[in-house]
Amino acid sequence: MPESSYLICTESPDVTQAAAVALAGLHEEMLPRPFRVRSKRMETIDTVTLEFEAADGGPPLSFQPGQFTMLYVFGVGEVPLSISGDPEAPGVLAHTVRAVGAVTNAICALVPGDSIGIRGPYGTGWPHAQGKDLLIIAGGIGLAPVRPLILNALAHRDEYFCVGLAYGSRSPGELLYTSELEAWNARGDINVQVTVDHGNPTWRGDIGVVTPLVRRLRCETDDTIAVICGPEVMMRVVARALEDRGIASNNIYVSLERNMECGIGLCGHCQFGKDFVCTDGPVFPYADVAYRLGIGAQ
Amino acid sequence: MGWLFGDRNTAEPHRYAQTNGDIVSARVIQGDLFESLIPMLISSGYRVVAPTLDEGAIVYDVIDDAADLPIGWTDEQGPASYRSYDRGDDVYFGYSVGPRSLRAFLSPPHLTLLTITRGDTDLAFASDEHEGRAYAFVGVRACDLAALAIQDKVLVESRFVDAAYTSARSRSLVIAVNCSVAGATCFCASMGTGPRCSSGYDLVVTELVRGDAHEFVVESGTDAGADILGALGSREASPSDITDAADVSLATERAISTSMPDVDTYTLLTDNLEHSIWEDIAQRCLSCTNCTLVCPTCFCSTISDFTDLAGKATRTKSWDSCFSLDFSNLHGHPVRTSSSSRYRQWITHKLAYWYDQFGSSGCVGCGRCITWCPVGIDITEEIQRLDSEAQEVPV
C-alpha cells in the first residue's frame, strides 16, 4: 500500500465534532413538506384564510403563536407568512393571505384539494403573558399573526388578568375575522375595540386610527404585556402611546417584516441591524428595536 | 485503523505549533516539496485547490500538478488596481491573495438544494446530496485561515447549519503558507489575523530562499498534517532555519502599509448611522457588488427555483449581495433604495453587527474589497475618515 493512501479520509479536527452534529440535520430545516388545502374562506375582497393539512402522513406542524412558515406554490415561488390558526389544533394549519404579489396571488387562487409546499415554523413567538394583563393592538392584515395568541388566551382565559384587543383597518370591508370579532366581544371577558379609517353608511363603530383605542384597554396589574402587529409606522406610534400609559418598552412586543428567504438566518436578506428577522424575530421586544426603527432604510 | 493512518515510525513524537506563534517543532523540506506533495494528495483522492494563473490573476483553483502553481509570478495590488507578472525567479509564493477565496469551493456560487416534483396529487421534495471528493487547499494565507474560522462560526456553529458547507469543510485539508510579500491593500496585521499563520491549518510552510538554497520550513498543526509531513522526506529544522522562517513573517509584517485604524468600529459605526459620510461614499460607490463577491467571509445567498414544463423544479442557492437593489425587497419594494444605505448595511455588518452575531469582526484584513472595488473605495480609509469627522461634529 503506498504511503499516500494513509491520507484518505483525513479530517481537520477543528470542525469535525460540529460537523457530526450538523450532518444529522442535512437540510431538514429547509426541506418543504407537501400540504393540501383543506378549506378556504374569503375574509375580504383580496384576503383569504386557507386551512392546510399535511399530505405526507407526517406529524402536524406544531408552532408557537407569532411564528411563520414559508409557503411554496409550484412554478411560482415561495413567501413567508405568519400562521393565523389555533396553536392547540396544529393538525389544521391556517394562514390568512392577502393577494399582493405573484406568490400571494397564486396562494389566494388555491382551492380545496390543491397541493402546496410548506416549511417551518420559523422565528420567535409572542411572549407568554400568563398571570398578567395582555393587550393586543393590530392593524390591517396584522390581526392574522396575533390570532393564534388571542385564540390561546381565550382558551385559557382564567390564566390572564385583563385581555384587550384594539384593531384598526382601513374600511369596514377590510376587517378580518368579523364574525369572530363579534363572538369575542360577546364573551364579555375580552375588551374588543375596533376602528376604521373610513366608514360606510352602515358602520356604527369608531372611525380613526387605532392609537386612541389603546387608552380604552384596561390593565389591572403593573405587569402588562402588550403586543403590536401592523405597519411599522403604526407600531411605533402605538408603542409610544403604550409607553405614555406607563407600560415599559421591554414589555411591549412588535412583529417585524423583512425579506425572509431562507428562514434559518443564513441568507442575510432579512438582516435588520444586528438581527436576522427570521431567527432573532419576527417578534422583538420593542426596547430592542425602537432606536433602529427610527433610522430609515435599514 | 492501520490501513488509514498506517504504522509508520515517525522519527519522534510530533509536537504541534503553539498558539503563541513560536515555531516549536519544524522540519525542512527541499524546494521541490510541492512536486511530490501535490501528486501525493491527488493520488490520495483529494481535489487539490491551490493558487494558479487564470485570466491574468492568481486565483485559487483546482490544479493537476505543481507546474500549475504560479512559480516565479507576483502581483501588484492597489485600490481598484491589480496586475500580475512573471518576475523570473523560482519562488512559489511571491504574491498576495487574489480575488477568489476558498468559499468559492466550500459554498459554491451556485448549489442545488432540492428537487421538487409535481405528482398527480401532491408535490414531492427531495434534498440533493453534496458528497464529493474532499478538497486539499494548498497555499492558504493567514487571512484566509481566519476567514475559514469565521465561516465555520457562521455556517457550522450557528443555530442552523449549512449542511453542504459543513460536509465539504469537515473533509478538507488545509496546507497554509506564511506570506513572504505584503500587498499594498493587505491589512491583516491590524486585524490580528496575519501575516503569520497561527492556527487552522494541517500544515504550514514558510518559503526560504537563501542564496542558491530554496527550502520550505514545514510545521504541522494536526495529526493529519503530521501524517503527511511524516510521509515526505525532510530534515529537522536547525535554529537558524527557524529564525530565518520567523524573519520572513516579521519582514512581511513590517512591509504592510495599510491598516485598519485602531478604533472601536462597533461604537463608531452604530453611533453614526445617519452621518453624512454614507452619502459621500455613495457618490463613488457603484453598488456593483464586487466587494461582497471577493470578500472571504460574506455568506449572503438567494434561493431560486427553476421550473421545467414537465412538472419538475430545482431549487438552487446562489451568492447574493446586500448591494443588490432587490436584496431588501419587502412587499415588492426595496427597503434600501440608496447606495448609501446599502454601503452602510455592508460595513456595519462587517465591522459592527458581526460582533453581536458571531463574536468577532467580519473582516480579516485580506484587502480584496479594496483591490477589486472598481472605484477604489478603501474600507480602512472610510473608517479613518468617519472617525475623524465624527470627532469634529458629534452626531
Q: Where are the domains of chain B?
A: 18-111+128-255, 265-303+319-392
The alpha-carbon gap from B73 to the nearest alpha carbon of chain A, in Å, equals 29
- The answer to whether residue A101 sits within a structural domain is yes
| Shared-domain flag, residues A102 and A142 | no
Site from B46, B123, B130, B347 to mutate, A interface, most A CB atoms within 10 angstroms: B123
Q: Quick check: B138 and B184 in contact, CB under 8 A?
A: no
Whether A23 contacts chain B with CB within 8 A: yes
Whole-number Cα distances in Å, A268 to A195, A199, A261, B300, B323 = 37, 41, 8, 5, 12
Establish if A13 belongs to a structural domain. Answer: no
Q: Is A158 found in the same domain as A90?
A: no
Under 8 Å CB-to-CB from A235, ≥6 apart: which residues? A139, A228, A229, A254, A286, A293
Give B185→chain A minimum CA distance, Å: 27
User: Is A11 a member of any domain?
Assistant: no
Residue A94 structural domain: 28-122
| pLDDT tens for chain B, residues 1 to 395 | 223 333 323 323 233 333 444 445 799 999 999 999 999 999 999 999 999 999 999 999 999 999 999 999 999 999 999 999 999 999 999 999 999 999 999 999 999 999 999 988 889 999 887 767 899 999 999 999 999 999 999 999 988 888 889 989 999 999 999 999 999 999 999 999 999 999 999 999 999 999 999 999 999 999 999 999 999 999 999 999 999 999 999 999 999 999 999 999 999 999 999 999 999 999 999 999 999 999 999 999 999 999 999 999 999 999 999 999 999 999 889 999 999 999 999 999 999 999 999 999 999 999 999 999 999 999 999 999 999 999 875 55
Task: Flag whether A177 is in a domain.
Answer: yes
Asked if A48 and A70 sit in the same domain, the reply is yes
Report yes or no on A112 lying in a domain.
yes
Same domain, yes or no: A99 and A147: no
Q: Are A44 and A115 found together in one domain? A: yes
Tell me if A31 and B125 make a contact (CB, 8 A cut-off). yes
* Residue A169, min C-alpha distance to chain B (Å): 18
Q: Does one domain contain both A78 and A142?
A: no
* Nearest chain B residue to A54, by CA: B122
**Do residues A69 and A161 share a domain?**
no
Q: Is the domain of A33 the same as that of A68?
A: yes
Kind plus residue range of the DSSP H or E element containing A137:
strand A133-139
Which value does ipTM take for this structure? Answer: 0.89
- Same domain for A99 and A56, yes or no, is yes
Give the best residue of B102, B150, B166, B338 to mutate against chain A (max A CB count within 10 A). B166
Residue A271 lies in a domain: no
Question: Of B348, B345, B355, B380, nearest to B271 (Cα)?
Answer: B348
Binary contact (B127, A31; C-beta < 8 A): yes
Give the nearest partner residue to B123 out of A2, A3, A115, using CB atoms: A115
- In this structure, are A145 and A239 located in the same domain? yes
- Same-domain pairing of A36 and A117: yes
The reply to whether A182 falls in a domain is yes
Domain termination site, one of A87, A122, A157: A122
A165 and A238, same domain (yes or no)? yes
Question: Residues A138-167, buried b or exposed e (16+ Cβ, 10 A)?
Answer: bbbbbbbbbbbbbbbbbeeeeebbbbbbbb
Q: What is the CATH number of the domain that holds A196?
A: 3.40.50.80
User: How far is it, in rounded angstroms, from Cα A254 to Cα A126?
Assistant: 9
Answer whether residue A116 is part of any domain. Answer: yes
C-alpha distance from B312 to closest chain A C-alpha (Å): 9
